[in-house]
Every structure is written in C-alpha cells, then in structure tokens.
Amino acid sequence: MQHSVDETTRSKRQEFYDRLKPHDLAPLWEVMKGMLPPEPSSKALPHRWRYQDIRPLVIESGSLLTAEEAERRVLVLENPAFPGQSRATSTLYAGIQVIMPGETAPAHRHTPSALRFMLEGEGAYTAVGGERTKMSFGDFVITPAWAYHDHGNEGSDPAVWLDGLDVPMIAFFEAVFREDYNDDRQEIMRPEGDSLARFGSGLLPLSGGSRYGLTTPIFNYPYERTREALYKASRGEAVDPHLGTTLRYANPMDGGWTMPTMSAWVTLIPRDMETARIRSTDGIIMCIAEGSGTITVGDKVLDFSPRDVIAVPGWKWRSFKASEDCVVFCFSDRVAQEKLGYFCEDRARP
C-alpha cells in the first residue's frame, strides 16, 4: 500500500532515523521492499564474449608474462555490471586461460572448486590427486575444492580453455583459503586414465567413496563420449521444446551433480530449432562448443559462434535459435540453490 506523508511527518521520521545511526540501528520499513522483492531481478547483465575478440588478446598475454610469473595466465570475463569484481554472473567466476607450449602453471589448492571447458590446443594436461589427464577440445575437466592442481602444455600450440570457479559464492561466505604446493608440479602416483576407468566405465570400486568428498571422482569427462551420447540420445526420443536434448554431467557415486557448488550440463539444439522460453533462478554461463545461432536473454538478442561465452543472469527468460546443430556447454549455481531449497524454473508454453 502507498502511504503519502506530509513534510512535517517526513522530517520527524528522518530526525528519528538520524538518532538510530549512532546505535548502529536502522528502520526496516524504509528498505523492506528492496530486501524482499516480489521476484528476483538479477543485477548481472546478459552478456556475450566473442572468442574472436578474446583469442588474439589472450595469446598476446602469453608474450607479456610467463605462466609461472602469472601463476594462472587468465583473462577474467567480467560481467559489465560488475567491473573489477571478477564475476561473470552474480555468484560465478569465469576466465580464459592460456598455457604456451612447454609452460607449467604451478601447483596450488584452494577452497573454491574449479571446472574447465577445453577450447584449443592438443597436449595440455592438468594434474589432480596424483593423476594427470590430457585435455582435448570439449573436455569437461574438474578440480575439486582443496585438491592440489597444476597444469602444463607439452604440445606445440597454445592451449586455451574456459575456467569456471565458484569464488564469488565462497567469498560471500568468507571461506576462501589457498595454499601453494611445495613444488611446481605435484607428484604423479597413478597412470593416466585411472579415474575414468575406475569410476567412469559403468563400474565402481566395491568399497570406498569418491576420492574427493562431495565432488565426482571422474575429473575428465571427454568430449568424444559426451558428443556421442548427445547425438544418440537426440535420435531416441522427441526433443524437449525448451531444452533440446540436454544431459547433465553426473557424479557416478550418487547420480547427482558433479560438484557440490556448480552444476554442469550440455545441450544439443538441432539445426533450425527455436526453443521455447524458459527461466530459472540460477545464473548460467554457457560456452558454445559447436554451431551458431542466437540466444535471447531477457530483451537482449545475442548471436554466437563456436567458443563464445555467454552469461545468462538468473530469472531472465531465455531461448535459442539454432542456424546449425549447436552443442552448448553450461554451468551454473543451480546445485547450491537446490540444496538450499529454493531453486525453481518456469517454462513458457511452447
């Protein structure tokens, strides 16, 4: 209800508010509507970073300083609503990392979890938990919270990937810790492919849980398998009008999401499909693996090409128009919201 007040009343109230301040008190009724809006309105902006713009700059950064010097040589994807805050959405960090041939990014660990979506180059690897994995185009690679990780490039071309971290979320809880390893590279104790064989073959060790607590023990979901699964699944059933064919990356231990704070999934939208509008409370970062088209987010229409990155703020209507078959990698804060009990989505009638 709208109450109008005269000048005398207003100034009497203001005088009261001024006397509250020295006591570190404030009147709720002046801020309550902003605090409890009828529905979310994200402060983040819908945004697209073109790979075509990023690539020359991230490669140029390679001649400016070494990966060792930088620790991580990354161009941060800053949501234009949050300059200087290292946030791509309200709760998630994203960046484009490059490792030049022969370089290594030294081992460290932190409480924020990280994921990678591989964009370019052959011969790059990451090491986690005493095991290395080679990273190829489209691979979804995971660094669990508080696990030591170092990266390197043994190929002959620059290796470039998208990083996603939950840093803004963990920073909100003021629970960020980090630590360096006592060497540039961690000790390798297991052969490459051990984790995928042990946990990602439809088989599981008879006893014991994940090596990484709440995070999936598979730390590379290879694109080759993902792509094949998507295409096969798209032929087996009618395509969902809102989601195309969407499969989520799963933790084999419990069938849940792969990480405790970030959900990841992948979508195939067939050529010429126009998806029906959907909105959800999670803020999403998308990376185009294949194809081109447009995405409408709120009232913004963004065209995209392979390797572009798109920020989709929470509770904004979104829909795709695919000019070719599109494969889109997505991650968001959905799993955190689900655990807190308030994730929701809304689908417009197709």
Q: DSSP alpha helices (H): ranges in the chain?
A: 7-20, 32-35, 51-61, 67-70, 167-172, 194-199, 223-236, 334-340
Nearer to ligand GTQ, 269 or 311 (CB): 311
Nearer to ligand GTQ, 160 or 295 (CB): 160
- Cα angle 205, 206, 208; round to 5: 70
Residue 97 C-beta: closest distance to ligand GTQ, Å: 5
Nearest to 334 by CA among 267, 283, 272: 283
Residue number closest to ligand GTQ, CB atom: 163
- Cα angle 71, 95, 262; round to 5: 105
Residue 37 C-beta: closest distance to ligand GTQ, Å: 32
Residue 131 C-beta: closest distance to ligand GTQ, Å: 16
Q: Name the site residues for ligand GTQ (rule: CB under 6 A).
A: 72, 74, 95, 97, 110, 114, 149, 163, 165
> Distance between CA 324 and CA 344 in Å, rounded?
30
> Distance between CA 239 and CA 291 in Å, rounded?
17
Buried b vs exposed e over 204-239: b needs ≥16 C-beta within 10 Å? eeeeeebbbebbbbbbbbbbeebbeebeeebeeeeb
Nearer to ligand GTQ, 139 or 325 (CB): 139
Residue 110 C-beta: closest distance to ligand GTQ, Å: 6
Report the amino acid identity of residue 285. I
Residue 112 C-beta: closest distance to ligand GTQ, Å: 8
Nearer to ligand GTQ, 149 or 334 (CB): 149
Residue 147 C-beta: closest distance to ligand GTQ, Å: 10
Nearer to ligand GTQ, 108 or 321 (CB): 108
Question: What DSSP string runs through 89-127?
Answer: SSS-EEEEEEE-TT-EEEEEEESS-EEEEEEE-SSEEEE
Nearer to ligand GTQ, 126 or 280 (CB): 126
